[in-house]
């Protein structure tokens, strides 16, 4: 059962996507939405708040909410998204090569990153992403076995997140990402089509469940010319 305000949010989002409300247009007033949708003001406001947070509309006192031109902003905005989601808009189909899938334990850096003990095991999944015939990303995922007991190869080849959420029923809560740039390492030259580039963009992610258990650490290494990160931010008050 989906909440009423989330449903209204999706209705409005759909109208914005379909250009029934165009960028620059004013959204109906809260009172009109209440009547049209048969909801209380609080419910309408919750739906609008979601649109604000996602950068679809802008609100200001005394004025009607205005639809923003989200397309000018190039997806994806900042959110937890898997590789498949990120490249859903690219023209050609990206290809994933599983290089390695094994159980590891005892590595000091890993233990620190995943906050596990020396006897705790973790899955290590290494994949190379190929786009338009070029190998440009290495993804090294570590999953704590305390949470992910088993990780079948078919899930690794497809979407790991779909497996975790749909099959294991894990509820992902939040993630921290860190972007830095380094000199390329041996593995980058070995696994990627580096061309004449000698640096690599490193995105480290720490992913937590809804109960704030850390269960995944990912190191994603991107060839610099193909890397792009887009972020939408609101001014804090």
Closest to its own copies by CB, 101 vs 197, is: 197
Peptide bond into 76 cis (omega under 30): yes
Determine how many CB atoms are found less than 10 A away from the CB of residue 164: 23
Query: Can residue 83 be called a binding residue for its own copies (CB under 8 A)?
Result: no
Closest to its own copies by CB, 109 vs 154, is: 109
Query: Residues 99, 65: contact at Cβ < 8 Å?
Result: no
Work out which of 17, 158, 162, 225 binds its own copies, going by CB under 8 A: 225
Query: Can residue 45 be called a binding residue for DNA (CB under 7 A)?
Result: yes
Work out which of 19, 29, 100, 165 binds DNA, going by CB under 7 A: 29
Work out which of 149, 176, 193, 195 binds its own copies, going by CB under 8 A: 176
Q: How far is residue 143 from each of residues 15, 99, 116, 150, 215, measured CA to CA in Å?
A: 39, 16, 11, 10, 6
Work out which of 12, 16, 21, 43 binds DNA, going by CB under 7 A: 43
Contacts of 129 (CB under 8 A, 6+ apart): 83, 94, 95, 96, 97, 135, 136, 137, 138, 139
Choose from its own copies, DNA, none: what does 46 bind? Cβ within 5-8 Å by kind.
DNA
Query: Can residue 212 be called a binding residue for its own copies (CB under 8 A)?
Result: yes
Task: Quote the CA–CA distance of 71 and 220 in Å, as a whole number.
Answer: 26
Tokens (6 digits) for 74: 């190039």
Helical spans, DSSP H, in 65-130: 83-86, 108-114
Query: Can residue 174 be called a binding residue for its own copies (CB under 8 A)?
Result: yes
Choose from its own copies, DNA, none: what does 66 bind? Cβ within 5-8 Å by kind.
its own copies
Tokens (6 digits) for 12: 């409005």
Closest to its own copies by CB, 1 vs 102, is: 1
Query: Residues 135, 192: contact at Cβ < 8 Å?
Result: yes
Helix (H, G, I), strand (E, B) or coil at 120: coil
Nearest Cα to Cα of residue 141 among 133, 236, 128: 128
Number of residues that bind DNA (CB under 7 A): 25
Choose from DNA, its own copies, none: what does 218 bind? Cβ within 5-8 Å by kind.
none
Task: Quote the CA–CA distance of 16 and 12 in Å, as a whole number.
Answer: 6
Work out which of 172, 187, 191, 219 binds its own copies, going by CB under 8 A: 172
Choose from DNA, its own copies, none: what does 110 bind? Cβ within 5-8 Å by kind.
none
CB of 152 to its own copies, least distance (A): 23
Query: Can residue 1 be called a binding residue for its own copies (CB under 8 A)?
Result: no
Give the torsion sign (CA, 110, 115, 117, 120): negative
Q: For binding to its own copies (CB under 8 A), which residues are involved?
A: 6, 42, 53, 55, 58, 60, 63, 66, 68, 73-74, 78-80, 172-182, 197-199, 201, 208, 210-212, 224-225, 227-237
């Amino acid at each position: 059962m989906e909440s009423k305000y989330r449903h209204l949010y999706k209705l409005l989002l759909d109208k914005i996507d379909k250009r029934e409300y165009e960028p620059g247009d004013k959204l109906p007033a809260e009172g009109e939405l209440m009547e049209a949708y048969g909801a209380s003001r609080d419910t309408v406001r919750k739906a609008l708040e979601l649109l604000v947070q996602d950068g679809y509309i802008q609100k200001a006192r005394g004025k009607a909410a205005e639809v923003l031109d989200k397309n000018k902003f190039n997806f994806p905005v900042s959110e937890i998204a898997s590789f498949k989601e990120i490249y859903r808009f690219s023209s050609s189909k990206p290809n994933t090569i599983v290089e390695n899938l094994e159980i590891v334990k005892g590595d000091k850096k890993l233990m620190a990153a995943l906050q596990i003990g020396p006897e705790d095991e973790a899955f290590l999944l290494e994949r190379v992403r190929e786009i338009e015939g070029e190998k440009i990303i290495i993804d090294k995922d570590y999953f704590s076995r305390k949470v992910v007991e088993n990780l079948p190869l078919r899930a690794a080849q497809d979407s790991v997140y779909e497996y975790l959420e749909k099959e294991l029923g894990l509820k992902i809560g939040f993630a921290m990402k860190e972007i830095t740039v380094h000199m390329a390492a041996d593995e980058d030259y070995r696994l990627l089509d580096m061309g004449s580039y000698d640096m690599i963009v490193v995105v480290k992610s720490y992913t937590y469940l809804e109960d704030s258990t850390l269960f995944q650490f990912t190191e994603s290494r991107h060839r610099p010319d193909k890397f792009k990160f887009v972020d939408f931010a609101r001014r804090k008050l």
